[in-house]
Amino acid sequence: MNDDALRERLARLDPAAAPVDPVTSPRAQELLERTMDTDLDTPATAGATRAPAHRRTARVALAAAAAAALGLGGTVLLAGGDEKGAAEPTQLALALPDPTTMSSCLVFSTDVLRDMPLAFAATVSAVEGDTVTLDVTRWYKGGSADVVVLDTPGEHTSASLDSVAFEDGKAYLVTATEGKVNGCGFSGPATAELSRSFDEAFAG
């Protein structure tokens, strides 16, 4: 008798040996419930012995596979839940010096620089007419905003500082007093020299 004939004969003698759908058949559901309700670590009776490790592993694997097949929809629903949105970046508005107004300059020194109430490093992310948007990369003193927006007062003026126009993508070091950006060398492109002065003035 070949193997196929033997399996067919056994199936007729024992209906439990017949192929069943592992998820939807009543017998599979019953086996799953019995498996899940069985304490694998505690013997059912005082005289019982614990099932061999390979049988316990097989039971757990069967339960996990059936549970995964039956609970797939629930997993998808959980994964599709709303996530908490990222916080909006904080902004600080400052005014650029009016290029049409004459003003006297203090002689630049790290001692004077150290007394400035606001100081930060930033990169220009947008230049739109008389408005410059800066993404702050470091606060040296006095603030915590993520973005600083610089506006030029007056009409028909360009966004510039000490006659140097702000350029998109360029890095700058900026100080400000009472809401206005300081010129006269206390703000400007982030040159190596100005960077050293900021580091020295605001060390620690």
Domain boundaries, the chain: 3-79, 91-201
Token pair for 100 = 């049409």
pTM beyond cutoff 0.75: no
Nearest to 22 by CA among 57, 66, 68: 66
Q: pLDDT tens digits for 68-122?
A: 444 433 333 334 444 556 789 999 999 998 776 767 888 999 999 999 999 999 9
Fold of 91-201: OB fold (Dihydrolipoamide Acetyltransferase, E2P) (2.40.50)
